[in-house]
Amino acid sequence: MRRDVIERLDGAAISCFVTGSEAMSIHGLAYRATDGIDLVIRIDPVAYEARLRPAFEPAYLVNEPLRIGHGWLGAVIHVTAIGKADLIMRDPDPWGEAAFARRVRVDDPALGPVWVSSVEDLLVAKLEFANGDLAGLQARDCRRIVETWPGLDLDYVRARASGLGLAGLLAELVTDAG
């Protein structure tokens, strides 16, 4: 289902990249057991109904986008298979643009060639989703990135985290991770 979702977005000329736990897995950073996938997509939410919905129906159920945080969240599930794709449409901002520019192309054993969030932008996204909670799953993933990723560009992460008001949380997490 995950590959199919990406192909349908490609077919509708909607740029995307994988983020969240699927991106953690693609980067070889974590095991995952769910069939969900989080995708950042580049589309004006106004065009969601006209461009995105027709690319998925009737094979998928498509929700109406919901306003969440700094953007909109859409979702699709296959009509029968177990699996869901969350579609993140971020409001235009410097980090969102940078994250698209820094996405990396990976020839993934499961998904084939696919655009994936850079590890640095994945860390920023997970910091944002942690919502200040350093004890939760998002923070655990953040620690794993800091502890295990060679050559992590912490200067970039600090700059982006600062722009999002997350500098203090990042500093705490980096100290915590040693």
Partner 1 sequence: MPADALFARELRDRELSEPAEDRAARLGFATWTTHLRVWAAADRAGVSEDGDLAAFIASRLWPDLPAAWRDRFVEVVRARAAEGHRLSRPSAAEDVVGERVAALMRAHGYPTGDR
Kindly list the residues in this chain that would bind partner 1 in the complex (CB under 8 A): 25-35, 61, 63-64, 66, 73, 75, 77, 82-84, 107-110, 144, 148, 150
Q: Radius of gyration of the chain from Cα atoms?
A: 16
CB of 11 to partner 1, least distance (A): 22
Number of H helices, E strands in the chain: 8, 8
Name which of 13 and 137 has its Cβ closer to partner 1.
137
- Cβ proximity to partner 1: between 89 and 166 the closer is 89
Cβ of residue 77: shortest distance to partner 1, in angstroms? 5
By beta-carbon proximity to partner 1, the closer residue of 38 and 95 is 38
User: Which of residues 32 and 158 has its CB atom nearest to partner 1 in the complex?
Assistant: 32
**DSSP character string of 103-149:** -EEEEETTTEEEEE--HHHHHHHHHHHHTT-TTSHHHHHHHHHHHH-
Nearer to partner 1, 32 or 51 (CB): 32
User: Measured from the CB of residue 80, what is the shortest distance to partner 1 in angstroms?
Assistant: 8
Least Å from the CB of residue 101 to partner 1: 20
Point out which residues pair with 115 in neighbouring strands: 105
CB of 36 to partner 1, least distance (A): 8
116 burial type by CB count under 10 A (0-12 exposed, 13-18 middle, 19+ buried): buried
Neighbours of 167 (CB within 10 A): 16
Question: What is the widest separation between alpha-carbon atoms in the chain?
Answer: 50
